[in-house]
Amino acid sequence: MTEQMLEKGENGVGEELSKVRENVLEKKERVMESYEVDSDDVKVRVDVVVKDHIPAYKVIVPEIDVATMALLDDIKEKLIGAVELSATEIFDPKIMNELKKELREDAEVLLGEELPQLDSDTKKHFVLNLIQDLLGLGKIDFLLDDDQIEEIVINSSKEPVRIYHKKYGWLETNIIIESEAQISNYANIIARRIGREITTLNPLLDAHLMTKDRANAILGPIATKGNTITIRKFARDPWTAPDFIKNKTANSEVLALIWLCIQYEMNMLISGGTGSGKTSFLNVCMPFIPPNHRIISIEDTRELQLPRFLYWCPLTTRPPNPEGKGEVTMLDLVINSLRMRPDRIIMGEIRKQREAEVLFEAMHTGHSVYSTLHADTCAQTITRLVNPPINIPESMLDAVHLNVVMFRDRKTGIRRIFEVGEFIEDIHPETKRVSFNPSILYRWNPKTDEIVQTAQENIRLYEKIGTHTGLAPDEIRGEIELKKKILEWLVKHNVRRIEEIGKIMNRYYVDTDTVIKFVNEDKNPKKLLE
């Protein structure tokens, strides 16, 4: 090899060394898993590889040389010239989908004229590249289309994009954003599509994409490495109760109890750490609401994905414009929601005292309320509620009927219901001061990976349900057993899609006897959907 290098001269040595280096790198890279992602009807291959003992994520797309890139840029300019889009149309997903279809057809014609020898697969990839650059977030769209990804993080243009993979955890990708200006442009695209803006004066953005995924952006110099975008992805096929039973996040007994509480309009708080599955669990529980009840949800950014059959009005906050006008706060929406005749109020997350006070007042005035809170145990939930910054009077806690605490094991990635409890009033004999302590009804056992009952009997909870419904404890136990049986029946027959669950629940509320008959005779639930 040395003689060959000397014959080729200095440039030849460089070329040979590059080839040797590439061969060594290829040998070091081992593919752990390959799968396809459907991106706008184009199949894109993804490889999860191990390189130097570190897992990485690679999107495999056809390479584009400089000349072809210049040609694609020319085509892009022609396509931009043909597009006329008003500000209101940018917000309409249907119009955007129609525009995408038109652009795809025009791009195929132009590519056919410029590169007639192009094979079909490469042509599809080039068209997809043009559509992503014109209407999307470039190669980030590949990551948005991968159902195995939970989080997408752009830290700066100096670093590769990173993702959180459901199976492999945090992985570095082979996608690098070309400049800080491009990241800033992506942040502006996200902001404009929900009627907001992100600027040097207003460098923080909380928003949602047209795919309903949650996005957060921070511009430099606040983000000192460079402009940053974080996208939290939500399941395109939402989780349902049978899914949670199958993957052991919950069990049928706990979900049956929660179903009973929701049916009879009890108030519930869902606690847990970041990424523990609070919002996912709230979504799973919402189909238990009777379909004729009016639901108002209040969030900073849209995270809830309630099924279509529910009578739901989602509300989101709005930050002020650059002149400091037009702000709509969580408190404004909570107060306003009480004038909308709601049967159920869902609040994304309790953060501030005034919001919490209004929400707890809503509980006391007969509204059924569900909300989330950052806390790791039932005891910590009480501590957070009665201390700053939330700091509500402790006497208000008697309005909370059930507290579900979610847990995520960061090592294994599993999510579980950690505790299910209620807040028990305790009056100090000497001072007569009222305080609340948690009573744990169910707790997750990490050794057996099971959620086990810790209290002999849910007497206090049964009393509260009985006060609202007139049901005796034996009748409550019977209802829980029936609901448990229904849930296990759905799991057995693999009925799990959100719309299917919705139809079954709807049928349960309007024709309970038929559903019970199907369960007792173990008939296929899908016959109820016909």
Q: What percent of the chain has pLDDT over 90?
A: 36
pLDDT at 130 over 80: no
Q: Report residue 456's pLDDT band, with 50, 70 and 90 as the boundaries.
A: low
Measured between alpha carbons, how far is 495 from 518 in angstroms, rounded to an integer?
14
Burial of 509 from C-beta contacts in 10 A (0-12 / 13-18 / 19+): middle
Q: Report residue 193's pLDDT band, with 50, 70 and 90 as the boundaries.
A: confident
Query: 82-107: string of b/e by CB count within 10 Å (b at 16+)?
Result: eeeeeeeebeeeeebeebeeebbebb
Flag the least confident range among 51-55, 170-174, 315-319, 430-434: 430-434
Rg (alpha carbons) of the chain, rounded to whole number: 27
At 383-427, the pLDDT tens digits run 999 999 999 988 889 899 999 999 988 777 789 999 999 998 887
**DSSP 8-state code for residue 235:** -
To the nearest whole number, what is the mean pLDDT of the chain? 83
Contacts within 8 Å (CB) and 24+ apart, 155-160: 155/225, 155/226, 155/228, 156/180, 156/183, 156/223, 156/225, 156/226, 156/227, 156/228, 157/182, 157/183, 157/226, 157/227, 158/225, 158/226, 159/225
C-beta neighbour count of 193 within 10 angstroms: 17
CA 205 to chain centre: 17
At 168-188, the pLDDT tens digits run 889 999 999 989 999 998 899
Report the candidate in 311, 245, 491 with the shortest Cα–Cα distance to residue 504: 491
Instruction: List the end-to-end C-alpha distance of the chain, in Å, as a whole number.
Output: 73
Measured between alpha carbons, how far is 300 from 303 in angstroms, rounded to an integer?
9
What is the model's pLDDT at position 10? 43
Report the candidate in 377, 469, 470 with the shortest Cα–Cα distance to residue 423: 377
What is the model's pLDDT at position 295? 93
pLDDT at 303 over 60: yes
Hey, which of 21-35, 61-75, 79-93 has the most confident mean pLDDT?
Answer: 61-75
pLDDT at 86 over 60: no
Flag the least confident range among 83-87, 105-109, 345-349: 83-87
Encoded amino acid at 273, one letter = G
SS3 268: strand
The secondary structure element, H or E, covering residue 122 is: helix 120-135
Report the candidate in 294, 308, 169, 133 with the shortest Cα–Cα distance to residue 238: 308
* Entry field: residues in the chain: 530
Flag the least confident range among 153-157, 236-240, 393-397: 236-240
pLDDT at 5 over 90: no
Higher pLDDT, 172 or 197: 172
Q: Report residue 93's pLDDT band, with 50, 70 and 90 as the boundaries.
A: low
Q: Report residue 319's pLDDT band, with 50, 70 and 90 as the boundaries.
A: confident
**DSSP 8-state code for residue 275:** T
